[in-house]
Amino acid sequence: MQHVVSRADRSRRARWSFGVAVALMAAFALAACGSSSKSPTATATPATTATAGSSGGSSSGGLKTGLKVFVIPKNLGNNYFTVADSVKTGGALAALQALGSTGTETSGSAATSASQLPAIQASIAKGANALIVSATDPTALCPTLKSAMARGVTVVTYDSDAPTCRTLFVNQATSAGIGKIQVDLLAKDMGDKGDFAIVSAAASATNQNAWIGYMKQELHKYPNMHLVSIVYGNDDPTTATQVTSGLLQKYPTLKGIISPTTVGIAAAAGVLDTAQYRGKVALTGLGTPLSLKKFVNDGTIQSFALWDPAKLGYLAAYATVNVASKKITGSQGQTFTAGKLGSYTVGPDSTIILGPPTVFTKANIDQFNF
């Protein structure tokens, strides 16, 4: 939390000079390439493009401009990714625009590889210089991503990794930290004892599976808490609602649920927000403050965690342009500057960490607008 706040303070201080820099870059791009200077659109259409001019040259910092970058979340229509990616929120497309490249957000409508893969293939066919991908299923995506890399396309993952077929992974926080905090929050709500279940996203999602692995490790601290089931809502509100209801029927003594997905936790909260369950079955996990404010205020949820998705997208975009410009290659210890977020260093496993997650409670939830 401290870390996040201090970065926010820093970014406030930097906003003025950043804004001036953006304006100057945009003006330069417009002058250099008038015909491609159309206004960005930020609506959630199947392919949202933000164009900042395309000179194909090199900025003074040595970063390439005029790159065609495709931002490919697990799916479209998930507000978490809309915040992470869009111009309006200051996410990945805003960063790409500031860097003088063209960013396009595209994916399928379901958070499955069958839905995401055609969008990846289409992006490559359109001449992508770089792909920024949140992997629905690394096994299914990697053959395509590997062949793109072999043809010179930069592949960076964000949010959900595909470790064997990317140069860099931009992680929201450490996977261990994300797993641990959710168990600790639930333990507090459950008084350290009782049966609980997990309502996850897709069974193939790298990020949720990594976090669940660390949750199991953290459970060694709580010998009287028992994980009885893991169910998968596939980041689909209807499926997540159904699997949560199924859990409550199957385990009538259930005392808690962790949902490490913004879609899953909102759906689970909707199911638990009745007199029968409120205050009796604890719920925590990862959610967006705006979607859970109502449930925190009525006592269905005491606390939950997340990071700022827009900062994740913004950082991923800067990292990607640095890789595409050969400023960094993914080796541990390399550093680069991510605009208003400041300097970042590549850590083990060619991973960059945004920072620790924020915990939201009734006391602070009104301060956040995503």
Per CB under 6 A, residues contacting ligand RAM are: 74, 78, 80, 134, 159-160, 201, 207, 235, 261-263, 286
Burial 165-204 (b: 16+ CB within 10 A, else e): bbbbbbbbbbbebbbbbbbbbbbebbeeebbbbbbbbbeb
The long-range contacts involving 265-269, CB below 8 angstroms and separated by at least 24 positions, are 265/199, 265/292, 265/301, 265/304, 266/237, 266/291, 266/292, 267/199, 267/233, 267/237, 267/238, 267/240, 267/241, 268/199, 268/240, 268/241, 268/244, 269/295, 269/300, 269/301
Closest separation between CB of residue 75 and ligand RAM, Å? 9
Tell me whether residue 116 or residue 129 sits nearer to ligand RAM (CB atom): 116
Closest separation between CB of residue 96 and ligand RAM, Å? 20
Closest separation between CB of residue 85 and ligand RAM, Å? 12
* Alpha carbons within 13 A on the beta-carbon side of 17: 8
Closest separation between CB of residue 60 and ligand RAM, Å? 35
Contact 226, 191 (CB under 8 A): no
Q: What is the DSSP string of 84-130?
A: HH-TTTT-HHHHHHHTT-EEEEE--SSSSHHHHHHHHHHHHHTT-SE
Tell me whether residue 101 or residue 261 sits nearer to ligand RAM (CB atom): 261
C-alpha dist (Å) from residue 296 to 26, 183, 184, 192, 265: 42, 18, 18, 21, 12
Tell me whether residue 123 or residue 172 sits nearer to ligand RAM (CB atom): 172
Q: Checking phi first, is residue 233 left (phi over 0); if not, alpha (psi -120 to 50) or beta?
A: alpha
3-class DSSP state for residue 27?
helix
Tell me whether residue 192 or residue 349 sits nearer to ligand RAM (CB atom): 349
Whether the CA torsion 14, 16, 19, 25 is positive or negative: it is: negative
Contact residues for 31 (Cβ-Cβ < 8 A; gap 6+): none
Encoded tokens for 314: 């913004």
Tell me whether residue 296 or residue 328 sits nearer to ligand RAM (CB atom): 296
Closest separation between CB of residue 218 and ligand RAM, Å? 17
Tell me whether residue 53 or residue 159 sits nearer to ligand RAM (CB atom): 159
Tell me whether residue 100 or residue 260 sits nearer to ligand RAM (CB atom): 260
Tell me whether residue 100 or residue 177 sits nearer to ligand RAM (CB atom): 177
Closest separation between CB of residue 56 and ligand RAM, Å? 33
**Position of minimal CB gap to ligand RAM:** 80
Closest separation between CB of residue 7 and ligand RAM, Å? 19
Tell me whether residue 129 or residue 351 sits nearer to ligand RAM (CB atom): 351
Closest separation between CB of residue 81 and ligand RAM, Å? 7
Closest separation between CB of residue 198 and ligand RAM, Å? 13
Burial class (CB in 10 A: 0-12, 13-18, 19+), 253: exposed
Closest separation between CB of residue 323 and ligand RAM, Å? 21
Sheet holding 68-72, edge to edge: 47-50, 102-106, 68-72, 130-133, 154-158, 168-171, 351-353
Tell me whether residue 98 or residue 308 sits nearer to ligand RAM (CB atom): 308
